[in-house]
Chain A
Amino acid sequence: MLAMLQSVLGGGIRAGTPILYATLGEVISERAGVVNLGVEGGILVGACAGFITTAHTQNPMLGIAAAALAGGLAGLVHAFMVVTLRSNQIASGLALMFLCLGVTSFVGRPYVAVKINAVPQASVPGLSRLPLVGTVLFTHDVLVYGAYLLAPLIWLLLFHTKWGLALRAVGERPAVAYASGLPTSLIQYGAVVSGGVLSGIAGAHLSLAYARSWVEGMSNGRGFIAVALVIFATWHPLRSVVGAVVFGAVFALQLQIQARGVALSPYFLDMTPYLLTLVGLLLMGRARRHAMPEGLRAVFEGVT
């Protein structure tokens, strides 16, 4: 029982990593007032670009860099559509998602079943030998540690720096931010592209560390879970960690149950994370709505 608990938790941390990257990215983007439903697409292009690069160079670090770049590009497209062209952010995000799904399926086709060098595992010396929690917390690949270190870093950035203040101001009242002399468009571009970079890294973790293979559509809704998690976390980076681990644990539990041959339809198990999403939204939706950045309700039309 203890062993199972440990493996579910450890697995949860690992499986929660891509979700956490994507959620943190979306927190940044939404704090600046732009919803990006294209996170799913960002994860896919990241996973695909990272995998292809690694397959050719056998260097997973280059793969991660390529994934970040590809995700950033996807974010740039969304920023251009929403900030510059003022098109509808819901439509733009969804279109971007389907575009990425199509492009990666096409481009990634020859790489299905290709073997690669995975992102290296790195046990933290000393800490990994702690009783009970040592293996759960400290025997992972480098991207896992990166994600959980990134959360407090982004919290610092958002709430204790001038950049963060400016970014949140744009997300709350863009007209006020503009009147205060802030470059609102530039800030939104920066936020959406950063969000894209993080979704790309999320994809890199999926294909280069978690699954270590490329399959079309392998993000499997994680981007949308991230969008929902932003709401659970009330647009807060540290609370995102909790949500990501919980959802990761559900994925891990699902694997455990399948591995133990419990007679439950795999289709039902596949539904559980998304069912949990709906239940969570139901419970949290009304109570914490006021935490939402005000600027999310509409896109700033600028001044004429």
Chain B
Amino acid sequence: MAVEAPSDGDHVYLRLEGITKSFPGVVANCGINLDVGRGEIHAVLGENGAGKSTLMKVLYGFWQPDAGTISVDGKRLDLRSPSDAIRAGIGMVFQSFMLIPAFSVAENIALTLPGSGVLLSVSAIRARLREFGSRYGLSVEADAKVWQLSVGEQQRVEIVKLLVSGARVLILDEPTSVLAPHEVTKLFEILQTLRRDGYTILFVTHKLNEVMAIADRITVLRKGGVVGTLPRAGATLPDLVDMLLGERELRAGSFERRDHEPGGRAVLELHDLSVRSDRGRTGLARVSLRVCAGEIVGVAGVTGNGQTELGEAILGLRRPAGGRVVLDGVDVTRRSTAAILAQGVACIPEDPLRMGVAPGLTIAENMVLDERARYMPFGGLLTDWRAIRREIELRVENFGIAIPRLSVPVGTLSGGNVQRLLLLRALARKPRLLVAFYPTRGLDIAATRMAQELLMVSRNGGAATLLISEDLDELFALSDRLVVLSRGAVAGSFRPGEVETVDVGLLMTGAAKRHEWQASPASSIPGS
């Protein structure tokens, strides 16, 4: 394992030597060496926090390394800023796109164009767009505003932007994490065409199957260092898993899923729920849905197709334009959020740092925030912080979170640890209904596994769960029933065993209309 593969004959185009980069308290990259040949798709594989993004941002001049050198085509580069990298022909598509939503596609592309003249020349950009669009299947509307585009289209804008600005090395940071399966296929076709034309592509991911599908060579990172580089032809999935995780073992297999009597009592019922949205997002249009006790209902959909509004309407954060929300038989459509939470509803919010925690408060303070009545009687005068700490420490210990002290501000924790805390906080209340947005986002493989098990334990204990996720594998593994949201409407409803992930992906993006296998209407009781 972990053998350095010789770069079979063709010379090294891009070379990173001894790259070291540390941030306060953590060494993100430690002496990393990476050789990439011209016209090669080179996968950089690693778990969350392995240092992939840091390394790529160093290569893009976004961050300056503490030590190490970068050279392209034998010439050593001194990258002080992204503009240096762009001049050297290195371009990057970030995980969160670097596009300005209020600008048109042409304006966004003009931003990176090397300067010639002062006046904006949209017609020249249009011509370039057409040229690259037809050659690589990257067609995009030049005058459309970016906020109107789908995620897949935005990604295409990002790639065209790099090509137009003359990049020869393309860095793609987790490019598939936002795409539906058939969009991934399309992206891979584009990448293969680009490789044929001599573009060098760095493909950053933590998904093994994608690496095996597209990469020529694979470099695996772990804990900020290189574990090894190997050609795809010589790689097997078990090898890669070993390299990724080290000696840790993955418990494979499915979850213990206790069956409940069919047609259990409905905890959450939505009747023809319609919700208006903010600008640029889809609302909800007459969504009907039912979640029973002891059931996980998965909501699949590309972000921005009404998931936010769905969650906000259930939690009373957004007033519906029509329809009803019923909790345990009680109409709560116009109740306040406080009243709804008091009925036993817990939430893992969509945007943890904005809606889940107050970053400036300590961990302990955040953990009691949504159950003030229980932990802080008499207006908080009789708060027993020691008891609270003991209780939290007990929970935290079981979940393996590395927390320095409970008195540090939550804002100093990593995204993954914040997510774990939120999960713990939500489940600690033993909710009747759990609304979980992307519960495993930002977690590495082991923590994801544990989080999913916790969700399953909660389900087996009789909680109703609405699981909103973009990860189809997760939805298929956990859900008793799946609902697909597309443009704010239910595009399909079925049991996970009945369909393939690809079909769901097509529905998610509106590429397929309601399918014939849509066996049961959305509001029917499962198993009836």
Interface, chain A (partner B; CB < 8 A): 160-166, 168-169, 172-173, 175-183, 290, 293-294, 303-304
Residue on A nearest B112 in the bound complex, by CB: A180
Cα(A291)–Cα(B103), bound, Å: 12
Interchain CB contact (< 8 A) of A160 among B63, B92, B101, B120: B120
B279 touches A178 (CB 8 A): no
A162 touches B115 (CB 8 A): yes
Q: Given A182-B83, A290-B279, A304-B23, A162 and B118 touching (CB < 8 A)?
A: yes
B111 touches A182 (CB 8 A): yes
Q: From DSSP, what is the main secondary structure of chain A's interface residues?
A: helix
Cα(A175)–Cα(B99), bound, Å: 10
Interchain CB contact (< 8 A) of B107 among A165, A178, A179: A165
A181 touches B81 (CB 8 A): yes
Whether, in the assembled complex, B102 has its beta carbon less than 8 Å from a beta carbon of chain A, the answer is: yes
Query: Shortest distance in angstroms between A170's beta carbon and chain B's nearest beta carbon?
Result: 10
Query: Shortest distance in angstroms between B201's beta carbon and chain A's nearest beta carbon?
Result: 19
B82 touches A180 (CB 8 A): yes
Whether, in the assembled complex, B512 has its beta carbon less than 8 Å from a beta carbon of chain A, the answer is: no
List the B side residues contacting A162 at CB < 8 Å. 110, 115, 117-120
Residue on A nearest B110 in the bound complex, by CB: A165
List the B side residues contacting A176 at CB < 8 Å. 98-100, 111
B100 touches A172 (CB 8 A): yes
Whether, in the assembled complex, B105 has its beta carbon less than 8 Å from a beta carbon of chain A, the answer is: no
Query: Shortest distance in angstroms between B110's beta carbon and chain A's nearest beta carbon?
Result: 6
Not counting A179-B62, A180-B112, A181-B82, a sample of 9 additional A-B residue pairs whose C-beta atoms are within 8 angstroms of each other reads A160-B119, A176-B99, A177-B100, A177-B111, A180-B82, A181-B81, A290-B279, A303-B63, A304-B63
Q: Given A176-B99, A181-B86, A294-B102, A163 and B118 touching (CB < 8 A)?
A: yes
A172 touches B102 (CB 8 A): yes
List the A side residues contacting B132 at CB < 8 Å. none
A179 touches B94 (CB 8 A): yes
Cα(A273)–Cα(B279), bound, Å: 33
Cα(A304)–Cα(B87), bound, Å: 22
Query: Shortest distance in angstroms between A112's beta carbon and chain B's nearest beta carbon?
Result: 45
Cα(A169)–Cα(B92), bound, Å: 18
**Which bucket holds chain B's interface residue count?**
20 to 34
A303 touches B62 (CB 8 A): yes
Cα(A172)–Cα(B99), bound, Å: 10
Residue on B nearest A179 in the bound complex, by CB: B98
Query: Shortest distance in angstroms between B102's beta carbon and chain A's nearest beta carbon?
Result: 6
Residue on B nearest A290 in the bound complex, by CB: B279
**6 sampled A-B residue pairs with Cβ under 8 A:** A160-B120, A179-B62, A180-B86, A180-B111, A183-B83, A303-B63
List the B side residues contacting A160 at CB < 8 Å. 119-120
Q: Given A172-B103, A180-B82, A181-B83, A166 and B279 touching (CB < 8 A)?
A: no
Interchain CB contact (< 8 A) of B100 among A164, A173, A181, A304: A173
A169 touches B63 (CB 8 A): no
List the A side residues contacting B120 at CB < 8 Å. 160-162, 164-165
What 10 A-B pairs are tightest by C-beta distance, nearest first? A181-B83, A176-B98, A179-B98, A180-B111, A172-B100, A180-B112, A181-B86, A181-B82, A173-B100, A161-B118
Interface, chain B (partner A; CB < 8 A): 23, 60, 62-63, 81-83, 85-87, 92, 94, 98-103, 107, 110-112, 115, 117-120, 279
Of A176, A180, A182, A294, the most chain B CB neighbours within 10 A belong to A180
Cα(A219)–Cα(B107), bound, Å: 38
Query: Shortest distance in angstroms between B53's beta carbon and chain A's nearest beta carbon?
Result: 13
Query: Shortest distance in angstroms between A96's beta carbon and chain B's nearest beta carbon?
Result: 28
Residue on A nearest B99 in the bound complex, by CB: A176
Cα(A251)–Cα(B92), bound, Å: 54
B111 touches A166 (CB 8 A): yes
List the B side residues contacting A180 at CB < 8 Å. 82, 86, 98, 111-112
Query: Shortest distance in angstroms between A3's beta carbon and chain B's nearest beta carbon?
Result: 45
Of B81, B92, B94, the most chain A CB neighbours within 10 A belong to B81
Query: Shortest distance in angstroms between B98's beta carbon and chain A's nearest beta carbon?
Result: 4
Interchain CB contact (< 8 A) of A178 among B82, B92, B118: B82
List the A side residues contacting B86 at CB < 8 Å. 180-181
Cα(A180)–Cα(B114), bound, Å: 10
Cα(A293)–Cα(B112), bound, Å: 20
List the B side residues contacting A304 at CB < 8 Å. 23, 63
Query: Shortest distance in angstroms between B159's beta carbon and chain A's nearest beta carbon?
Result: 15
Of B94, B100, B101, the most chain A CB neighbours within 10 A belong to B100
List the A side residues contacting B23 at CB < 8 Å. 304
Cα(A181)–Cα(B90), bound, Å: 12
List the B side residues contacting A166 at CB < 8 Å. 111
Query: Shortest distance in angstroms between A285's beta carbon and chain B's nearest beta carbon?
Result: 16
Query: Shortest distance in angstroms between A106's beta carbon and chain B's nearest beta carbon?
Result: 41
Query: Shortest distance in angstroms between A190's beta carbon and chain B's nearest beta carbon?
Result: 14
Cα(A194)–Cα(B196), bound, Å: 49
Query: Shortest distance in angstroms between B56's beta carbon and chain A's nearest beta carbon?
Result: 12
Query: Shortest distance in angstroms between A178's beta carbon and chain B's nearest beta carbon?
Result: 7
Cα(A176)–Cα(B279), bound, Å: 21
List the A side residues contacting B101 at CB < 8 Å. 172, 294
Residue on A nearest B81 in the bound complex, by CB: A181
Residue on B nearest A294 in the bound complex, by CB: B102
Cα(A304)–Cα(B86), bound, Å: 20
Residue on B nearest A304 in the bound complex, by CB: B23
Cα(A244)–Cα(B98), bound, Å: 36
Cα(A156)–Cα(B208), bound, Å: 50
List the B side residues contacting A175 at CB < 8 Å. 98
List the B side residues contacting A168 at CB < 8 Å. 103
Of B98, B99, B101, the most chain A CB neighbours within 10 A belong to B98
Cα(A169)–Cα(B463), bound, Å: 47
B111 touches A165 (CB 8 A): yes
Query: Shortest distance in angstroms between A292's beta carbon and chain B's nearest beta carbon?
Result: 10
